[in-house]
Amino acid sequence: MSTLTREAALPVRKRVVADLERAVYPRCFIIPYMEIVHDRAVLELFRGCSQGCRFCQAGYLYRPVRERSVERLREQAGQMIAGTGFSELSLASLSSSDYSAIDKLVAVLEEDFAGEQVELSLPSLRADAHAVRLAGRLHKGKAVGVTIAPEAGTQRLRDVINKKVTEDDVLEAAATALQGSGSHVKLYFMLGLPTETPADLEGMVTLVRKISMIGRSGKGRKKGPSSINVSVSTFVPKAHTPFQWEPQPEVAEICGRLEFLRRELRKSKEVSFSWHDTGMSLLEAVLARGDRRLAPVLERAYQLGSRLDAWHDQFSFSRWEAALAQANLSARDYAGDAPAYTDPLPWDHLSAGIDKEFLIREHRRAMEGIITPACRHAYCAGCGLENCPTT
């Protein structure tokens, strides 16, 4: 049999770059004439994340954590800035403040680029005061916005999703941002998380109000009003995560919860509220949990005019509904599905290196509100990943 027609061995396993230190990384690349969205050089500190947030697909797919050394990053940073002429260098990863030598790295890069007007930035930070202070140091006292992601409004629900951040952590980070040189804080929450109750929504409102009070106090802050930007997205169940067995709530239910938040948060004039389009979130859930039956749906949606759907003015959920209906399917067939542990899943033939039994255990721990510690150093969660440094 030809190698072109031979069936692939199942499951299809992901490939992992084991030695990130010697891995090829772009240092000179094409610079566009026009201004672009990410108009900066990007330095990848490490890959992977050991926090284990149960909704986060990237945290499971990109295991294990693999870091580059400070010396290698210093070398790559110098070559990228020299080869591109960018005036900003982004220190990128899934959670850049988790880089084990982040303070040392920042210090050597500040030394290297002193006098060259190259600004360092951290695009992803944990919700703690040290990370906020580090961001303020990089911006050299300029008023900047800081993004904090509590994800949920109560500690109970944060335990369910394994978000190892307390309310005190969030308040301390917000106070550090608002009472320093910062002028505004962006808070990122998820709506419709598994086991979410009205009390969790009320907890979200209460947390935002506490941060608003910190902003109003203005202690130690430069003159100027503070603002709190609250951004909410709808939970989307993702493959290869403990929540792959959870449904997305009905759109009507999500809309009701959004209306509650909008009504309560508008009572504080310094708070602005935005949310992700519910139709787009529903489509994301359909595609995230899709199977081979969606192939003709994708083609039909394209034929009906769905081409630039990432732009809100171009997105039309009705086109997708029509395409699904013509295939005798509906969005709730996918978004509302709550399969049993024993049911076959469309992605079972793909291996991300994580044991399915581990995901089942994590789902059960979520339903009991039990935290699983980060597994990067001494603790091993038993996820089954081959060649993991902690096993």
pLDDT in tens, 182-233: 568 899 999 999 999 999 999 999 999 999 988 777 654 554 557 899 999 9
Contact 352, 345 (CB under 8 A): no
What percent of the chain lies above the pLDDT cut of 90?
69
Tens of pLDDT, residues 4-59 = 555 668 899 999 998 999 998 988 888 888 888 888 999 999 999 989 999 999 99
Between the alpha carbon of residue 243 and those of residues 54, 155, 239, the distances in Å are 6, 18, 8
In this prediction, residues 131-135 reach a mean pLDDT of: 79
User: Which residue's entry shows tokens 């911006």?
Assistant: 139
Q: What is the pTM of this model?
A: 0.90
**CB–CB of 135/174 below 8 Å?**
no
From CA 299, how far away is CA 163, in angstroms rounded? 38
**Is residue 1 very low, low, confident or very high in pLDDT (cuts 50, 70, 90)?**
very low
pLDDT at 220: 46
Q: Single out the residue of 70, 64, 106 nearest to residue 89, CA to CA.
A: 106
| pLDDT (0 to 100) of residue 328 | 97
Q: What is the pLDDT of residues 330-356, one digit of tens each?
A: 999 999 999 999 999 999 999 999 999
Cα within 13 Å of Cα(6), Cβ side: 6
Confidence label for 141 from pLDDT (cuts 50, 70 and 90): low
Q: In the structure encoding, which two tokens stand for residue 300, read together?
A: 């039909």
Query: Higher model confidence: residue 69 or residue 128?
Result: 69
Mapped to the 3 state alphabet, what secondary structure does the chain carry? CCCCCCCCCCCEECCCCCCHHHCCCCCCCCCCCCCCCCCCEEEECEECCCCCCCCCHHHHHCCCCEECCHHHHHHHHHHHHHHHCCCEEEEECCCHHHCCCHHHHHHHHHHHCCCCCCEEECCCCCCCHHHHHHHHHHCCCCCCEEEEEEECCCHHHHHHCCCCCCHHHHHHHHHHHHCCCCCEEEEEEEECCCCCCHHHHHHHHHHHHHHHHHHHHCCCCCCCCCEEEEEEEECCCCCCCHHHHCCCCCHHHHHHHHHHHHHHHCCCCCEEEEECCHHHHHHHHHHHCCCCCHHHHHHHHHHCCCCCCCCCCCCCHHHHHHHHHHCCCCHHHHHCCCCCCCCCCCCCCEECCCCHHHHHHHHHHHHCCCCCCCCCCCCCCCCCCCCCCCC
DSSP β-ladder status, 88-92 and 350-351: unpaired
Output the average pLDDT for the chain.
Answer: 90
Buried b (16+ CB within 10 A) or exposed e, 130-141: ebbebbbbbbee
Q: Token digits for 245?
A: 């067995």
- Tokens 């150093």: give the residue: 377
Measured at the alpha carbon of residue 18, what is the angle toward residues 12 and 21, in degrees to the nearest 5?
150
> Per mean pLDDT, which range of 40-54, 63-77, 126-140 is the poorest?
126-140
Burial class (CB in 10 A: 0-12, 13-18, 19+), 318: exposed
Average pLDDT over residues 128-157: 80
Tell me which residue has tokens 């209306």.
259
256: CB partners within 8 A, 6+ apart: none
> Which domains are seen in the chain, by residue range?
21-123 (3.30.750.210), 125-234+243-277 (3.30.750.200), 285-340 (no CATH)
